[in-house]
Amino acid sequence: MIKTMKHGITMLSTTLENVDYWDEQLAKVMFGYICEIQANIKFFPFMIMIGRTPHLRADNYLHSLTTVIDDIVDVEIVVAQFLQKMKLIANIHENVLFNVEQA
């Protein structure tokens, strides 16, 4: 992981205006790292922590163009979605543990 971080920071800091601001590149490199499928666990670390695949700004923009958001939110729907997400995260954790054991 450290080698990957060093390489990413080096790549982003190669321009003259970024060479002294390598620490500001760290968040970008970390986000890129946790959004890649890891070989041993076969999941995105982002998915393990958050319970969904990562969405980029472009994804949000495209989604806003195609989705109409209701002004009234039903509490039962929100609770059902939350419980569904918790089940998904638990399932992901089980799969990650299995994949680590297999690796």
Please answer whether residues 89 and 51 qualify as being in contact, where contact means their C-beta atoms are separated by less than 8 angstroms.
yes
* pTM exceeds cut of 0.75: no
**How far is C-alpha 98 from the chain's CA centre?**
21
Task: Find all residues with CB under 8 Å of 19, minimum gap 6, and list them.
Answer: 13
> Is residue 17 pLDDT above 80, yes or no?
no
Question: Comparing C-alpha atoms, which of 96, 98, 103, 81 is closest to residue 46?
Answer: 96
pLDDT band at 16 (very low <50, low <70, confident <90, very high): low
The structural domains of the chain, with segments of one domain joined by +, span: 2-102
Q: How far apart are CA 2 and CA 33, in angstroms?
A: 11
Q: How far apart are CA 53 and CA 46, in angstroms?
A: 7
pLDDT band at 37 (very low <50, low <70, confident <90, very high): confident
Report pLDDT digits (tens) over 42-93.
888 888 888 887 777 666 655 655 555 555 567 788 788 888 888 888 888 8
